[in-house]
């Protein structure tokens, strides 16, 4: 094919924007078409009464993968975005009062481990070596490689075997440390990309090293400020972003896509189309193709990661003792994960991730107030057909109750504003299949070549980017997927 000179990217999630920046930086006139009124996808934002409520990602890791997007055109991320370090990375809390501050300060981390079990300090050091190895093999070498044919998978096989990638993160961690709480502390990370620590390949232990080496950061003004910075860069480069414009159809002729038609009836043509939307939804946009219909059917048979229930709230007062990122563990770890991933049970004792951005950036809330969100992983809508219009308000009370019991006894008296976001919202707002928050579940049999391909196998100029493609969900994942996809185009 001749070098493309025009491109359409459907969707402005982190993956879509990162790809658009790469294409525009390479001189391909790129138009991003986004269905919603703001860019960012899962990283949407609500601003009300002086509060900034980020909808999705809050933990920024591997800032270097973002820097790279600015460096392509010789500019600097710091001109558009300020990243603030978060310390500790996370505070982990259990119902019995145990607490664990997780950071990349080696001495402090060893002291925290010793508090739980002195014998595990040595085991942790060995786990760190393992994590370094999988980080090098899984992230540095393969994180931005497009797995288009099976031979690439075979090339990766020796490394996968060396690190026993068929074992779960939890099983590998348990081989290194004995304390039950430490096993949770070193394995929960795969949940951040939709993976069950009990089933997800041990390759995902690389997240530990990713955080250790690159740090944990927060974008000043919230994660959506990082999205705005990417949009500013893209538009400076000459790219076009259209908002409130939902793609209704991807047009095609003779195994090539020709452009898109939007719900408002506008037609756009381009040399290539890349979709950042949900995979099932995207193939559904290709009308009159037996191939696409078959693809939708085969995607329906895959395993999708769970959804999330998120309560956003603003409180009167300030909370210096509550860290930026806290995890409130349930008394049940494995059994709770089984309820979410397998049994389709909406648990009354959820583990909760609590986001407190005003701890790092006071401007996220009005003076004298604090912004929070509390997130509980819940089964996707295919596993638990919950009517969220009814269940949502009840579950919001369950989630807030956990925070009241563990951290803020007078939460009710301080509550200034509150709303929640359910699996149904993921489905309605983002077209997420089954309301899944992270697309395909990251298990070994749905990773690399087995995941959505960055270029379609049938339509030669149709590309994909984002959580459903290799390497998977999470900001570094989807930004890596954009690099893999761009490498097939540029």
Ligand X SMILES: Cc1cc2nc3c(=O)[nH]c(=O)nc-3n(C[C@H](O)[C@H](O)[C@H](O)COP(=O)(O)OP(=O)(O)OC[C@H]3O[C@@H](n4cnc5c(N)ncnc54)[C@H](O)[C@@H]3O)c2cc1C
Q: Print burial letters for 158-169: b (CB count within 10 Å at least 16), e (below 16).
A: ebbeebbbebbb
- Cα separation, 35 vs 37, in Å, equals 7
Residues 55-114 that bind ligand X (CB under 6 A): 56-59
CB of 394 to ligand X, least distance (A): 20
Per the CB < 8 A criterion, the answer to whether 358 and 317 are in contact is no
Residues 357-396 that bind ligand X (CB under 6 A): 375
Q: Which of 430, 440, 448, 462 binds ligand X (CB under 6 A)?
A: 430
Q: Which of 14, 89, 102, 217 binds ligand X (CB under 6 A)?
A: 14
CB of 474 to ligand X, least distance (A): 4
Residue 299 interacts with ligand X (CB under 6 A): yes or no:
no
* Residue placing its CB nearer to ligand X in the complex, 113 or 340: 340
Per the CB < 8 A criterion, the answer to whether 23 and 8 are in contact is no
Residue 43 interacts with ligand X (CB under 6 A): yes or no:
yes
Residue 475 interacts with ligand X (CB under 6 A): yes or no:
yes
Q: Which H/E stretch holds residue 51? A: strand 51-54
Structure tokens at 446: 């749905």
Question: Is the bond preceding 202 in cis, omega lying within 30 degrees of 0?
Answer: no
Structure tokens at 314: 């603003």
Q: What is the DSSP track for 1-25?
A: -PPP-EEEEE--SHHHHHHHHHHHH
Q: Which of 314, 466, 471, 480 binds ligand X (CB under 6 A)?
A: 466
CB of 3 to ligand X, least distance (A): 25
Structure tokens at 91: 């505070």
Q: Which of 176, 341, 388, 438 binds ligand X (CB under 6 A)?
A: 438
- Cα separation, 443 vs 297, in Å, equals 20
- Cα separation, 82 vs 67, in Å, equals 12
Q: Which of 9, 25, 41, 433 binds ligand X (CB under 6 A)?
A: 41
Residue 315 interacts with ligand X (CB under 6 A): yes or no:
no
Q: Which of 4, 7, 8, 12 binds ligand X (CB under 6 A)?
A: 12
Q: Which span sits near ligand X by CB under 6 A: 226-234, 394-402, 444-452, 473-481?
A: 473-481
Q: Which span sits near ligand X by CB under 6 A: 36-44, 127-135, 288-296, 361-369?
A: 36-44
Structure tokens at 21: 């920046």
Reference 365, options 413, 319, 311, 419; nearest CA is: 319
Q: Which span sits near ligand X by CB under 6 A: 23-31, 32-40, 179-187, 326-334?
A: 32-40
Residue 16 interacts with ligand X (CB under 6 A): yes or no:
yes
Residues 253-292 that bind ligand X (CB under 6 A): 276-277, 281
Q: Determine phi and psi for 420, rounding to 5 degrees.
A: -130, 160
Per the CB < 8 A criterion, the answer to whether 439 and 304 are in contact is yes
Plot region of 81 (φ>0 → left; ψ -120 to 50 → alpha; else → beta): beta
Q: Which of 6, 29, 36, 332 binds ligand X (CB under 6 A)?
A: 36
Separate counts of helices (H) and strands (E) for the chain: 16, 20
With a CB cutoff of 8 Å and minimum separation 6, the contacts of 193 are 204, 207, 305, 438, 442, 472, 473, 474, 477
Reference 282, options 464, 480, 108, 69; nearest CA is: 464
CB of 484 to ligand X, least distance (A): 13
* Residue placing its CB nearer to ligand X in the complex, 233 or 308: 308
CB of 485 to ligand X, least distance (A): 11
Q: What is the DSSP track for 400-464?
A: HHHHHHHT-TTHHHHEEEEEEE-HHHHHHHH--GGG-SSSB---GGGSGGGSB-SB-SSSTTEEE
Residue 196 interacts with ligand X (CB under 6 A): yes or no:
no
CB of 191 to ligand X, least distance (A): 10
CB of 164 to ligand X, least distance (A): 25
Q: Which of 192, 205, 230, 374 binds ligand X (CB under 6 A)?
A: 192
Q: Which span sits near ligand X by CB under 6 A: 4-12, 128-136, 150-158, 265-273?
A: 4-12
CB of 260 to ligand X, least distance (A): 8
* Residue placing its CB nearer to ligand X in the complex, 58 or 179: 58
Interface with ligand X by CB under 6 A: which residues? Answer: 10-16, 33-36, 41-43, 56-59, 192, 246-247, 276-277, 281, 308, 310, 375, 430-431, 437-438, 466-467, 473-475, 478
């Amino acid at each position: 094919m001749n070098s493309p000179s025009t491109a359409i990217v459907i969707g402005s999630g982190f993956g879509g924007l990162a790809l658009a920046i790469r294409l525009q930086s390479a001189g391909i006139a790129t138009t991003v078409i986004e269905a919603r009124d703001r860019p960012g996808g899962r990283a949407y934002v609500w601003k009300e009464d002086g509060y900034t409520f980020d909808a999705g990602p809050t933990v920024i890791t591997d800032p270097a993968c973002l820097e790279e997007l600015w460096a392509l055109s010789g500019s600097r991320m710091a001109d558009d975005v300020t990243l603030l370090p978060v310390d500790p990375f996370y505070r982990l809390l259990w119902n019995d009062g145990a607490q664990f501050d997780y950071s990349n300060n080696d001495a402090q981390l060893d002291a925290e481990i010793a508090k739980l079990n002195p014998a595990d300090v040595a085991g942790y050091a060995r786990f760190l070596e393992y994590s370094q190895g999988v980080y090098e093999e899984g992230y540095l070498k393969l994180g931005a490689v497009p797995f288009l044919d099976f031979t690439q998978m075979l090339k990766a096989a020796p490394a996968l075997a060396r690190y026993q990638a068929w074992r779960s993160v939890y099983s590998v961690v348990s081989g290194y440390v004995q304390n039950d709480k430490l096993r949770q502390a070193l394995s929960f990370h795969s949940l951040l990309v939709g993976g069950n620590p009990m089933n997800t390949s041990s390759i995902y232990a690389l997240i530990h090293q990713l955080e250790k080496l690159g740090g944990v950061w927060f974008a000043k003004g919230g994660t959506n400020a990082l999205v705005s910075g990417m949009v500013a860069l893209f538009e400076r480069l000459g790219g076009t972003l259209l908002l409130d414009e939902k793609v209704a159809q991807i047009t095609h002729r003779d195994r090539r896509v020709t452009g898109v038609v939007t719900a408002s009836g506008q037609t756009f043509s381009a040399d290539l189309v890349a979709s950042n939307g949900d995979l099932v939804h995207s193939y559904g946009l290709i009308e009159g193709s037996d191939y696409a219909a078959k693809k939708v059917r085969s995607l329906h048979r895959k395993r999708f990661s769970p959804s999330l229930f998120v309560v956003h709230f603003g409180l009167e007062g300030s909370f210096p003792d509550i860290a930026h990122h806290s995890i409130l563990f349930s008394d049940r770890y494995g059994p709770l994960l089984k309820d979410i991933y397998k049994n389709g049970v909406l648990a009354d004792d959820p583990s909760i991730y609590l986001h407190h951005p005003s701890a790092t950036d006071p401007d996220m809330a009005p003076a004298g107030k604090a912004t929070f969100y509390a997130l509980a992983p819940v089964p996707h809508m295919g596993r638990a057909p919950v009517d969220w219009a009814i269940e949502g308000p009840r579950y919001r009370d369950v989630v807030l109750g956990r925070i009241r019991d563990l951290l803020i006894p007078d939460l009710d008296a301080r509550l200034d504003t509150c709303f929640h976001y359910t699996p149904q919202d993921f489905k309605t707002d983002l077209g997420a299949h089954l309301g899944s928050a992270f697309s395909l579940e990251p298990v070994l049999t749905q990773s690399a070549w087995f995941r959505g391909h960055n270029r379609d196998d049938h339509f030669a100029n149709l590309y994909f980017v984002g959580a459903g493609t290799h390497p998977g969900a999470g900001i570094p994942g989807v930004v890596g997927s954009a690099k893999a996809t761009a490498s097939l185009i540029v």
